Amino acid sequence: MILPKEDRELRALTRARKGYVDFRSKLKARTIQELEACTIKLASELSDVFGKSGRHVLQGLVDGRSADVIVESIPSKKVKKNKEKIKQAIIAGLSPISIFLIKSHIQMIDEVDKKLVQLDAQISRLLKARKRDVEIAMSIPGIGFVSAAAILSEIGDYRNFASGKKLAAFSGLDPSVYESAGKRYNGKITKMGSKYLRRMIIECAHALSRTKAKTQLKRFFLRIMARRGKNIATVALARKMLVVLHHLLINQEMYKDDGLAKPKNVKVSFSEESNYPSLDEMIEVLVGAGYFVKKDSQGG
């Protein structure tokens, strides 16, 4: 099946984005490993080493500032309450080689973040024509803008799939079937299909399984988990989400569930003056990348 040009471009962009995100994750892991090689256990004291406070501590370490100076100038009051523990975690300091490596990793992470902002702008440009489809996908708990873009890019024209089950089969989430003693059994998933779609929808299923709302999808997950375990339940949930998504897209309906206290806010707006996302959307992307963004009173 040959996709139209815009669909091919969107798919290329979302796959490139996934590659950049994976690369950034590896850089972050290497940074933490380098810290631990210097007996600095920062990850045990901060929930996000690369968040606002974490970056402040990292910058202080590579700049050669003392532990006292670093912890006293932490911007977050909440994190600062644990300043003694953080101080003990970083008091060993860094060797010159570790400073060089960590500084290099941080610089590359920042470059990747910039590329991701650019990619998100291009992805948003191509998604303007599918605004309604994006909102429908995002109405399902566990699916955000980035994952909706990736899922829709992999699916292409959802009307090419006769049913949600066909779409699930395309993602490789259908169970394999085998016979034994004249009986038919379901085995592991086939994994014959789009690995990108399969990985993304499974990530969304993980996100949905961690939500507190007792939606129909969450109850489905809990039932399967009680009988078959968490891993199988997550895969089953991912398949269910694809089937539900196909139904919603075909009927152009938003996801509704009595288990949701209030409908999920899924209004996606694009700037009318350009092909780029609106200011609020760009800020959301930057915050997701770990930056601290503050708008002034004039909205700049």
Please state the separation of Cα 93 from the chain's center in Å: 32
- The reply to whether 187 falls in a domain is no
Contacts for 182 with CB less than 8 Å, ≥ 6 apart? none
pLDDT digits (tens, 9 = 90+) for 167-220: 988 888 876 655 655 565 555 666 777 889 999 999 999 999 998 888 899 999
CA nearest neighbour of 130 among 149, 144, 113: 149
Amino acid at site 175: P
Query: For residue 67, what is the DSSP state?
Result: H
pLDDT digits (tens, 9 = 90+) for 234-248: 999 999 999 999 999
Query: For residue 213, what is the DSSP state?
Result: S
- Total of domains in the chain: 1
- The reply to whether 26 falls in a domain is yes
- The reply to whether 33 falls in a domain is yes
Q: What is the pTM of this model?
A: 0.76
How far separated are the first and last CA of the chain, in Å rounded? 45
Give the pair of three-digit tokens for residue 227: 């009988």
Q: Name the percent of the chain lying above pLDDT 70.
A: 80
- The reply to whether 67 falls in a domain is yes
- The reply to whether 214 falls in a domain is no
Give yes or no for residue 272 having a pLDDT over 80. Answer: no
> What is the extent of the structural domain holding 37?
5-124
E strands, the chain, where?
A: 175-180, 183-189
Give the pair of three-digit tokens for residue 47: 């929930």
pLDDT digits (tens, 9 = 90+) for 105-161: 999 999 999 999 999 999 988 888 899 999 999 999 999 999 999 999 999 999 999
- The reply to whether 150 falls in a domain is no
